[in-house]
Amino acid sequence: MIAGEGIETMLSLREVLPTMPMAAATSSAHLAAILFPPTIRRLYVARDRDAAGDAAFAVLTDRIQAAGIELLSLMPDLADFNDDLRQHGAGALAERVRHHLREQDQTRFSVDIG
């Protein structure tokens, strides 16, 4: 699953990962407070490249690791993934995201580079 700060960020990722489960928070504070299903084993966090994104990730790190969930960060090249999609295109965004996914997730939720 990927959780991220903002609808635009998550819709941008949906462009290249159409089958990956995702959750959009409406702010960094909401991202830090989001509740996750008890069956989740791995969480990717689509962070904005700013102090609020860093703070939300820090709070999530403590909560998620205490629950025994693997936590991985997805960081955009620009300010957020919507900027990346608009500036660089879907192919470049897909390639960037693919390198951050675990191999089994690359296979299961094939990244759309087309």
Tell me the pLDDT tens digit for each residue of 21-33. Answer: 999 998 888 888 8
Question: Beta 22-25 vs 42-46: how paired, if at all?
Answer: unpaired
Instruction: Give the structural domain span for 80.
Output: 2-108
Any domain includes 15: yes
Any domain includes 113: no
Asked whether residue 114 carries a pLDDT value surpassing 80, the answer given is no
Any domain includes 93: yes
CATH number at residue 39: 3.40.1360.10
What's the number of domains the chain is made of?
Answer: 1
Any domain includes 114: no
Any domain includes 47: yes
Any domain includes 78: yes
Any domain includes 10: yes
Tell me: the pLDDT tens digits for 37-58? 888 999 999 998 889 888 888 8
pLDDT for 24: 94
- Alpha-carbon torsion 65, 71, 75, 80, what sign? negative
Residues 6+ apart with CB under 8 A from 103: none
Any domain includes 95: yes
Provide the whole-model pTM: 0.90
